[in-house]
Every structure is written in C-alpha cells, then in structure tokens.
Amino acid sequence: MVHKKYWIIILITLIINVVMLQWTIESYYGEKYDHVWLFSVIGVFSSIVCFLTYLKWRKQEYQN
C-alpha cells in the first residue's frame, strides 16, 4: 500500500508539471510575464517534489 502512495504522488506531480509547462508557454506568448514566473516556480517545485518522492520510493522498494 505504501508503494501506491508514492506512485500516486509521482503521477500527480508529473501531471501538475505538464500543465504548468503548458500554461507557462501560453503566458509567454500572451506576454503575461508575471504569470510566466509564477507557473515556472510551481513547475520547478513540482519537479523537486516528484524527484524527492522517487528517491524515497526507491529507497523503500530496494530496502526489502
């Protein structure tokens, strides 16, 4: 059950990251530069959470 929790978090953060990338590109072309920074920061934070969750999952998976 613990492994499913990690995978759910990873999938949600990846989905958030893809959506933020799309919104960042749309904001850049729409010349709304304040939104570009906001969406970029959210995307980077989502990537960091995803990577840290992956590291925890890998440690938990191969510990057994």
Cα–Cα distance, 26 to 35 (Å, whole number): 10
Q: How far does CA 1 lie from the centroid of its chain?
A: 22
The pLDDT of residue 33: 84
The pLDDT of residue 12: 95
- Boundaries of every domain in the chain: 2-63
pTM of the model: 0.83
User: Mean pLDDT, consecutive 10-residue segments, the chain of 64 residues?
Assistant: 86 95 92 89 95 92 77
